[in-house]
């Protein structure tokens, strides 16, 4: 199962929808007008993901000599 927010482009790719159908992956949509406080992903996982991304970006900047 894949949980998406209500953003339209998440559901507008026929090729992706074919793949999901083929492998029986169910898509569940949260309503687009729910606040970020109510959306499951934004409560905790997104915060952790963003922290990890910042760490990775910082390492890339140091490696590229940009920091």
* Cα 35 from chain centre: 16
Domain boundaries, the chain: 1-34, 35-67
Per the CB < 8 A criterion, the answer to whether 1 and 28 are in contact is yes
Q: What is the DSSP string of 11-43?
A: G--HHHHHHHHHTT--EEE--TTS-TTTSHHHH
Please check whether residue 6 is in contact with residue 33, taking contact to mean a CB–CB distance below 8 angstroms.
Answer: yes
Task: Please give the average per-residue pLDDT across 18-35, as a whole number.
Answer: 78
Rounded to 5 degrees, φ, ψ at 3 are -105, 125
Give the confidence band of 41 by pLDDT, cuts at 50, 70, 90. Answer: low
Quote the pTM value.
0.40
């Amino acid at each position: 199962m894949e949980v998406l927010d209500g953003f339209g482009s998440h559901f507008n790719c026929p090729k992706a929808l074919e793949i999901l159908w083929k492998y029986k992956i169910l898509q569940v949509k949260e309503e687009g007008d729910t606040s970020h406080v109510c959306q499951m992903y934004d409560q905790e996982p997104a915060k952790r993901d963003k922290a990890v991304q910042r760490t990775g970006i910082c390492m890339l900047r140091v490696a590229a000599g940009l920091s």
